[in-house]
Amino acid sequence: MNYTIERQILDLNHFAVNSLLFIPKPEIKINCYAIFTHGYTGHKGDILTWGQRLADCGITVLLFDLPGHFLGSFNDVPSFTDFKVNAYKLFDKAITYFNIQQNDKLIIGGHSLGAFLALQSLNYNCFNQYQTICICVGLGIQQQAKSLSEHNSIFHNMLKERSNLISKNLAPQKMFTWFYDRINSLSIYNQKIFLISGTNDFLIQENHISNLQNTLSINNQVTVIRPDNLPHHCPDRAVIHIRKLLKTIGYIL
C-alpha cells in the first residue's frame, strides 16, 4: 500500500461529517489533489476505490460523507434549506486539509448527488486558483422534473428501502425537485468537466447525458465517457475510467 489514511471531521458549524484523507508516500506523491463525495442515500464507502487507486498514483484524496446520510455520519442536517445552501461548501472545507499551492492540479467530483454538489461548488468559483477539473459519475438531467412515482420501479423501490438511512429533512421529492430546478440554473464558466455514465446505468439514460452536456457546454469544455459496464449502484467501478481519463489528460503517468 502506497498511502496512509487519516480520519478527519469536516465541520461547517451547520453540520459536521466524517471523511477519509488518503496521503500518498512521499516518494510517489505528486502535486495533484482530489475531493469526492457519494450519491443520494449512500456513503463514502461507495467510492472507496477512488481514494485507494488514485492515492496509489500519487494523488492526495479526500472522500467525505454528505450530511443527513446516516450510513456515513450520524450527524443530522437541521433543515433542507441548510443542506441546499451549505452542502457544496464541504468541497471548500476539504481543501483546507491539503498543502495545495496555487496552480497545483485539483480534481473535484463525485457520484450522482455528489457530482451535482461538485458542479454547484464550481458555480461559486471556489477553485479558480488551481488547475481544476470536475469529474461527474452517474449524473444527467431529464427534460422535465418527474414526481417520485414516475421514476422507474427499481429506483423507486430502492429509495423506499433506504429511506430510514437518511434524514427526514432530505425527503426524495424535495431533493429531486430542487436538483432539477438548480441544475438547470447553474452559471459555470470556463471549466473542464467530464461526465462518466455507464450504458447500463438504469437511472441515467443517453438523453439525460446529452441534456446535461448541452447545458454545460455553452460555457465550458465538456467530455462524455460512456463505459459499457458501470451500473448506477456500483460507482466504485468508475475508478478504472477515472484513472484512464487522468492518464489521457496528463494528470498521472
> How far is it, in rounded angstroms, from Cα 178 to Cα 180?
6
Assess contact for 190 and 220: CB atoms under 8 A: yes
For residue 170, which of 41, 47, 71, 65 has the smallest C-alpha distance?
Answer: 41
> How far is it, in rounded angstroms, from Cα 41 to Cα 156?
13
Instruction: Break the chain down into helix, strand, coil percent, rounded to 5.
Output: 40, 20, 40
Q: Which residues contact 154 (CB under 8 A, 6 or more apart)?
A: 202
> How far is it, in rounded angstroms, from Cα 120 to Cα 76?
21
| Residue type (1 letter), 167 | S
Residue 241 has what pLDDT?
98
How far lies 36's CA from each of 19, 110, 111, 236, in Å? 10, 5, 8, 12
Neighbouring C-alpha atoms within 13 Å toward the C-beta of 150: 8
Residue 151 has what pLDDT?
53
Residue 210 has what pLDDT?
95
For residue 121, the SS3 value is: helix
- Domains of the chain: residue spans and CATH: 3-248 (3.40.50.1820)
Residue 90 has what pLDDT?
97
> How far is it, in rounded angstroms, from Cα 197 to Cα 200?
8
| Residue type (1 letter), 84 | K
Q: Which residues contact 244 (CB under 8 A, 6 or more apart)?
A: none
- List the chain residues with pLDDT less than 50: 147-149
Assess contact for 180 and 208: CB atoms under 8 A: no
Residue 148 has what pLDDT?
46
> How far is it, in rounded angstroms, from Cα 137 to Cα 164?
25
| Residue type (1 letter), 74 | F
> How far is it, in rounded angstroms, from Cα 2 to Cα 110?
23
Q: pTM score, two decimals?
A: 0.94
> How far is it, in rounded angstroms, from Cα 93 to Cα 24?
20
